């Protein structure tokens, strides 16, 4: 090819070098490429040195001859706006002009955009665009690497923490291969088993830890699970290196790779020797308690039988004593009218004591039969029931006047066994009379709530010493301040038992010399199953 024939039109020059500049002999810019115009505006007819500074190579004066001396050098220009251009000068002898071929240099694609340029403004062959893309790619890769590094650091921290936990935990940690051969153990395993890692590496757990008293079923279970790569959880008796027995709970599971193949088996070894020891002690104690309970139940049955027999046996002679004493009294009253008043007092004592004995036997019989009671539950108007009880049982000595019955809330019929409940209320009222002055009122309050009724009996009597209140419902217990008043210490026990049978509860508040208030809480509807459970 003859290059002297290679002539480019201005349009072709513009396509190949859209940032070209021609400078005439006077140093004036004659023509510029389209992209150059887009970047700087129309800078033709201006002195080249007024628009651009020649950064490299440096020349003393900006004349045509000096510019010509730079044609074989790399040219670095800077515009007044601070935009750098790189390229080269060519002298076109025929036209006596210097041609600048090059392009603006930007360090990032964003700078290109800032200067209102797009990829279309560059010649297709211009590698600057590729260079900018390469820079961008490196930026992205650097960000990727930074993120990856950060991820790795976070994972490293997690691993460090996990490793610390594994090392410092009190539980043994065992890593085995898929054949169940030990690959690694932690310090706790070494402490538990008295073996060090090098001694157990490559060996199976059963080979080093199991012994004569190890349960063969558990041993087989463990082997099967490990070899079949299944989860396991068992308690096993092992032996340390020095032959000490130690109980372990072994929990483990296989670790799978991405293809689902077992790579390792991981196991935790918890020393449960102490627990096993406690369990054995507890089991022993439980057996002892169970035996004692059986004995106590047997004794209780015997006691109930004994009480029944004694009570029945005593009842007849007591009745005979009572009728004989009554006969003697009648005779004496007739035959010895003069002296009778002096001995009447003794008869009163005898009657009171007979009555006390009879009551005691009655109570004892109730307690012995309590478990066999068959209830006869009836819907009852409690207020009416209590008023009738007062009228029938306390008509002597004007006692009825001492009671004041108050009812609150929406009245409901309450399901009770009327015979049993008679004892409860009669006993409480009788106690209130016994332990308070004759001129003091006794207030009975009946309060209905949604599903229960509260019945309280309040006296203003001597009260119960605080230190003795906790023993109040104990069999045969009597407070120290009522030793001179008749009673056998069974009344409240029976009351409580009867209320229990009705699925209710009883509480009290008492202050010495101020009085006592007993409150019974009773469900309005009686539930049979609860009683059965109770019994």
Partner 1 sequence: MYGLVNKAIEDLVIENFGREKWEAVKKKSGVKVDFFVSNEPYEDNITYQLALAVADETDIHIDKVMNIFGEYWVLKTGKEKYGGLMQAGGNNLKEFIINLPNFHNRILLIYPKLQPPEFKVDCIENNSLHLHYISQREGLQEFVRGLINGLGKMYKTEVTIEMIQSRSTGADHEIFKISW
Q: Site residues (CB under 8 A) for partner 1? A: 108-110, 112-113, 117-120, 124, 129-130, 132-134, 136-137, 140-141, 144-145, 148, 151, 258-259
**Closer CB to partner 1, residue 136 or residue 346?**
136
Smallest distance, partner 1 to C-beta of residue 154, A: 12
Minimum CB separation of residue 118 from partner 1 in Å reads 5
Q: Which is nearer to partner 1, 110 or 298 (CB)?
A: 110
CA 473 to each of CA 358, 431, 486, 510: distance values in angstroms, whole numbers, following the listed order: 21, 14, 17, 14
Q: How far apart are the first and last CA of the chain?
A: 124
Please state the closest distance from residue 145 (CB atom) to partner 1, in A: 7
Choice between 69 and 148, CB closer to partner 1: 148
Q: How far is the CB of 153 from partner 1 (least distance, A)?
A: 13
Q: How far is the CB of 25 from partner 1 (least distance, A)?
A: 38
Beta carbons of 58 and 72 less than 8 angstroms apart: no
Q: Which of 482, 430, 425, 436 is nearest to 459 (CA)?
A: 436
Minimum Å gap between C-beta 213 and partner 1 is 44
Q: How many CB atoms lie within 10 A of CB 171?
A: 18
Buried b / exposed e over 246-255, threshold 16 CB at 10 Å, is bbbbbebbbe
For 242, the token pair is: 């020095």
Burial 524-535 (b: 16+ CB within 10 A, else e): bebeeeebeeee
Report the residue number, 130 or 372, with the smaller CB distance to partner 1: 130
446: tokens are: 């009946």
DSSP states along 257-321: -TTS-EEEEEEEEEE-HHHHHHHHHHHHHHHHHHHHHHHHHHHHHHHHHHHHHHHHHHHHHHHHH
Report, in Å, the least distance between residue 160 CB and partner 1.
Answer: 18
Q: Which is nearer to partner 1, 107 or 294 (CB)?
A: 107
CA distance 59 to 319: 150
How many of the other CB atoms lie within 10 Å of CB of 493? 20
CB of 11 to partner 1, least distance (A): 20
Residues in the chain: 535
Q: DSSP secondary-structure letter at 525?
A: S
Cα separation, 424 vs 86, whole angstroms: 116
Q: Is 193 helix (H, G, I), strand (E, B) or coil?
A: helix
- Minimum CB separation from partner 1 for residue 19, in Å? 16
Minimum distance from CB of 144 to partner 1 (Å)? 5
The residue (of 45 and 258) whose beta carbon lies closer to partner 1 is 258
Q: What is the DSSP letter of 181?
A: B
Least distance from partner 1 to the Cβ atom of residue 259, Å: 7
Report, in Å, the least distance between residue 158 CB and partner 1. 14
Q: Closest CB to partner 1 among 117 and 361?
A: 117
Closer to partner 1 by Cβ: residue 133 or 292: 133
HEC secondary structure over 429-494: HHHHHHCCCCCCCEEEEEEECCCEEEEEEEECCCCCCHHHHHHCCCCCCCCHHHCCCCCCCCHHHH
Burial environment of residue 44 by CB neighbours within 10 A (0 to 12, 13 to 18, 19 or more): middle
- Are 266 and 174 a contacting pair, CB within 8 Å? yes
Q: Which is nearer to partner 1, 258 or 410 (CB)?
A: 258
Nearer to partner 1 among residue 118 and residue 292 (C-beta): 118
CB 454 within 8 A of CB 508: no
Beta bridge partners of 105: 84
47 vs 51: CA distance, rounded Å: 7
Toward partner 1, which CB reaches closer, 107 or 280? 107
Question: Which candidate, 239, 240, 234, places its Cα nearest to that of 218?
Answer: 234
| Minimum CB distance to partner 1 smaller for 129 or for 360 | 129
């Amino acid at each position: 090819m003859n290059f002297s024939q290679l002539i480019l039109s201005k349009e072709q020059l513009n396509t190949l070098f859209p940032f070209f500049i021609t400078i005439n002999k006077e140093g004036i810019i004659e023509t510029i490429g389209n992209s150059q115009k887009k970047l700087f505006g129309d800078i033709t007819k201006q002195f080249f040195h007024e628009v651009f500074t020649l950064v490299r190579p440096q020349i003393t004066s900006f004349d045509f001859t000096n510019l010509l001396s730079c044609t074989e050098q790399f040219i670095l220009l800077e515009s007044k706006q601070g935009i750098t251009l790189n390229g080269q000068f060519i002298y076109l002898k025929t036209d006596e002009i210097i041609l600048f071929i090059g392009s603006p240099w930007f360090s990032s694609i964003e700078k290109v955009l800032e200067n209102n340029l797009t990829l279309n403004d560059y010649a297709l062959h211009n590698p600057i665009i590729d260079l900018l893309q390469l820079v961008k790619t490196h930026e992205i890769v650097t960000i990727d690497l930074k993120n990856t590094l950060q991820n790795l650091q976070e994972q490293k921290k997690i691993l460090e923490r996990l490793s610390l936990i594994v090392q410092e935990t009190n539980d043994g940690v065992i890593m085995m291969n898929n054949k169940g051969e030990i690959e690694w153990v932690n310090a706790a395993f070494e402490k538990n088993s008295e073996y060090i890692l090098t001694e157990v590496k490559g060996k199976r757990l059963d080979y080093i830890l199991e012994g004569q008293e190890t349960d063969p079923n558990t041993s087989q279970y463990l082997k099967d699970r490990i070899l079949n790569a299944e989860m396991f959880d068992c308690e096993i008796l092992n032996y340390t290196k020095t032959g000490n027995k130690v109980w372990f709970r072994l929990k483990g599971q296989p670790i799978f790779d991405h293809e689902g193949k077992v790579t390792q088996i991981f196991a935790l070894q918890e020393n449960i020797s102490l627990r096993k020891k406690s369990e054995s002690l507890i089991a022993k104690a439980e057996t002892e308690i169970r035996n004692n309970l059986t004995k106590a139940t047997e004794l209780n049955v015997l006691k109930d039988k004994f009480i029944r027999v004694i009570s029945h046996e005593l009842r007849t002679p007591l009745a005979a004593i009572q009728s004989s004493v009554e006969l003697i009294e009648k005779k004496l009253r007739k035959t010895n009218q003069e002296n009778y008043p002096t001995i009447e007092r003794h008869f009163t004592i005898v009657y009171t004591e007979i009555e006390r004995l009879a009551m005691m036997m009655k109570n004892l019989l109730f307690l012995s039969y309590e478990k066999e009671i068959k209830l006869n539950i009836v819907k009852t108007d409690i207020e009416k029931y209590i008023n009738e009880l007062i009228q029938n049982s306390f008509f002597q000595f004007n006692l009825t006047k001492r009671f004041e019955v108050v009812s609150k809330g929406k009245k409901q019929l309450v399901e009770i066994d009327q015979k049993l409940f008679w004892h409860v209320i009669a006993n409480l009222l009788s106690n209130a009379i016994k332990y308070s002055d004759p001129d003091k009122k006794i207030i009975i309050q009946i309060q209905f709530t949604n599903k229960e009724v509260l019945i309280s009996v309040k006296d203003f009597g001597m009260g119960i010493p605080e230190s003795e209140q906790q023993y109040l419902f104990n069999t045969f217990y009597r407070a120290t301040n009522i030793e001179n008043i008749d009673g056998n210490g069974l009344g409240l026990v029976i009351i409580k038992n009867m209320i229990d049978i009705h699925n209710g509860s009883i509480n009290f508040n008492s202050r010495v010399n101020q009085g006592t208030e007993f409150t019974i809480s009773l469900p309005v509807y009686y539930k049979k199953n609860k009683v059965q459970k109770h019994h």
